[in-house]
Structure 1
Amino acid sequence: MKPGFSIRPFTPDDYDGAISVHLSVYPEYPNTANEWRDADARRHPDLFFRRFVAEMDGKIVGLVGGGPEEWANHPGLVSFNIRVRPEYEGRGIGAELYDRFLQEAAVLSPTRITSEAREDKPRGIRFLTKRGFVEEMRFWESQLDVDAFDFTPYAGCEERVTSQGIATKTYAELASDPDRDRKLYEMDVEISLELPAPDPITPASFDRYRVQVLESPHLLPDAIFVALDGDRYVGITSLWRVEAGEHLMTGLTGVRRDYRRKGIALALKLRAIDYARRHGSPQIRTDNESNNRPMLAINERLGFVKTPAWIAFALTGDFLPQRHEDTKNEEFS
């Protein structure tokens, strides 16, 4: 144990302290303690998950958390993330958190360990690469200034989709469809399986989809826009509320393969932007992988502006690293 700080398991009393650490590193992602509590409560009860905190000077100064991902649940695959307060970097806290997490995760016999670092956080990148992690993919959060958006160039886009027999309804408007939730789930799975990702998607069950998506406190029933061909659900985009901040987050956006290149995705995105403006949300945020060119092209066309890229890293092979003097004081940010 490094002198001056201690590592211990996370407890329910630690949410405020843990969020404080997160916000010290990424204030632009204003998560709240309530959101973390809710996310933890919705975790699959049978999936391994561990979180540890580092304490120093009477407060939480770092944390690590991770385990298998429910939607990328492959044997031997483990993911984790570390946060350390910037003013406590360079003291070996991140290294000790990493080691403690690996000790716990050893029960899973991991063959692949993944994590992320943002391109403007060189300490985080250095922390991972010195331990053998290799970059696999980049993805961006992009942001749209809703108030500045000009609908004029897109006049007629929705009408062209409608003329092809495609209607658009919200999740709330589809309440009379007894199969609504099942249809939404099946479309979500079909589209998600084709999205670029470092690891293949492993769809959750319908019951878990209900828990994670349809029963989420962030769901906005009138901001989930579904494209329909008759009674078949063929495309979707959605906006989600956040507890802190006035912006809206974009959920899944996609169209079934046999309905692509008809302008449906663009029309759905325009409906979402109109919703945000009518409800006074100044900004929409979305995430896209670097090799998802079709969706990146739509967002770029609409005026979404990329923020610094997140880099997906993976460690394979001899994944149980030895501590070396040249890495022990590198901190993850």
Structure 2
Amino acid sequence: MSLSKSSEIKLRDMKVPEDYEQLTSLLNMIDPGSTTAQSIEEEDRQIPTVSNLKMNEDGLLAGFGRTRVVAEDDKGQIIGYGASFRAPWVEPGNLGSVFCVHPDFRRKGIGGKILAHLENWANEHHASVLSSIVMDWIDDSLPFVQNRGFVVDAHIFDLELDLNQFNNAKYGDTVEQVIQSGIQLTTLADLTRVETETELYELCVETAKDNPGQYSSLPPFEQWRKEFLPEANSRKEWVFLAIDGDRLIGVSQLFSTEDEGVLYTNYTGILKEYRGRGIAKALKLRSIEAAMKAGAHTLTTDSEEKNAPMQLINRSLGYIPGKGHYRILKKLRK
């Protein structure tokens, strides 16, 4: 798109649905293929239009609310975007945020204006913490936020496995040893118990508690189910489970992606008392086998830098690390 760098820039509230197309173009310029106008619109349909932010009995921000702004030049071209938001299940006091600026307009104070607006909105609602993310592959993104009082909470990066080069037979003993130890490996599709999805939710809640990549609590069951088992890109036979007796103790799950031949490992978690026994690796091997049978040539996932056990598993399977992002936090109130 043709842009005039000398244009006067202003912030205004996002217009729905008028801004969908331009916002999509901006986001995809920064991170190609990251979104569509349809997906933004669909997400908006799921979110209440009326804010109900309030302070709870402990004096911490609760409820739902958000603000969204765009930076626009005098020709009406959107060259920046920012949003701050809160969902009811997020830890009391916390607000999330996202922001970005067109590459041609960085270092001109636009990002600072957007971030200042989001922080002012957070302070007006007496938030305790403002969280966000910055990409580790965008030059100067981390110093930009550190100079404005943010600190790094986590570094999460992508990993990629070339399935055309993967030798599944090399790891056959790993799966067999887990089975011989009395652990059953199956899939969600193979279980008929009505309560299985509830048990799976409880497993994810428990395993997320000490996952360095997990920031806030999981949403309530119905919302979690929409996110964890979306009809568009999940299958019950791609939810690989480990069971000890009648107890669900581990999970690893695949998603399809918009890229043909590429699948994504959405989540892997093992109950604390069962870790170190090769169960996570066995589940991931089952998922790799399923991905190969489905015709995939690449398997992707992501992992937090400090999650040493999962890093070890992924590297041992041949995953190669790629770009990622920093999760950043700024304390606004004690």
User: TM-score over 0.5 for the alignment?
Assistant: yes
Match of 1:133 among 150, 156, 175: 150
Change (3 A) 1:202 1:301: same
C-alpha distance in structure 1 between counterparts of 2:225 and 2:295, whole Å:
28
SS for the counterpart of 2:133 is: strand
Q: Which amino acid aligns with 1:247?
A: V
Offset, 1:237: 0.4
- Equivalent residues, number: 314
Query: Which residue number corresponds to residue 327 of structure 1?
Result: none
Query: Which residue number corresponds to residue 39 of structure 2?
Result: 35
1:64 counterpart = 2:82:
yes
C-alpha contact 1:136 1:198 (8 A) present in aligned 2: no
Query: Which residue number corresponds to residue 23 of structure 1?
Result: 28
C-alpha contact 2:133 2:327 (8 A) present in aligned 1: yes
C-alpha distance in structure 2 between counterparts of 1:70 and 1:250, whole Å:
27
Gaps of 5+ in 1: 320-333
Query: Which residue number corresponds to residue 232 of structure 1?
Result: 247
TM-score by length of 2: 0.85
Change (3 A) 1:196 1:32: same
1:191 counterpart = 2:207:
yes
> 1:207-286, aligned counterparts within 5 Å?
207-215=222-230, 217-244=232-259, 246-286=261-301
Change (3 A) 1:294 1:148: same
Match of 1:162 among 161, 179, 191: 179
Offset, 1:297: 0.5
Query: Which residue number corresponds to residue 298 of structure 1?
Result: 313
SS for the counterpart of 1:122 is: coil
Offset, 1:203: 3.4
Q: Which amino acid aligns with 2:127?
A: P
> 1:104-123, aligned counterparts within 5 Å?
104-123=121-140
Moved more, 53-62 or 77-86: 53-62
Offset, 1:215: 4.2
C-alpha distance in structure 1 between counterparts of 2:259 and 2:114, whole Å:
28
Query: Which residue number corresponds to residue 328 of structure 1?
Result: none
Gaps of 5+ in 2: 1-5, 50-62
Offset, 1:96: 2.2
> 1:65-84, aligned counterparts within 5 Å?
65-68=83-86, 73-84=90-101
C-alpha distance in structure 1 between counterparts of 2:210 and 2:256, whole Å:
26
Offset, 1:249: 2.0
Change (3 A) 1:58 1:212: same
Describe the superposition over 1:37-87 as per-residue Cα deviations: whole angstroms up to 9, x where unpaired: 33344447752222222223433222112323666x223222212111112
C-alpha contact 1:31 1:244 (8 A) present in aligned 2: no
C-alpha distance in structure 1 between counterparts of 2:70 and 2:226, whole Å:
27
TM-score by length of 1: 0.85
Change (3 A) 1:220 1:109: same
Offset, 1:188: 0.8
C-alpha distance in structure 2 between counterparts of 1:40 and 1:249, whole Å:
24
**RMSD of aligned residue pairs (Cα, Å):** 2.5
Query: Which residue number corresponds to residue 94 of structure 1?
Result: 111
C-alpha contact 1:30 1:244 (8 A) present in aligned 2: no
Describe the superposition over 1:172-214 as per-residue Cα deviations: whole angstroms up to 9, x where unpaired: 222x211111111111111111212474x42322233223323
C-alpha contact 1:42 1:211 (8 A) present in aligned 2: no
Runs of 4+ residues over 4 Å off in structure 1? 43-46
Give percent identity, aligned residues only. 28
C-alpha distance in structure 1 between counterparts of 2:228 and 2:40, whole Å:
15
C-alpha contact 2:119 2:130 (8 A) present in aligned 1: no
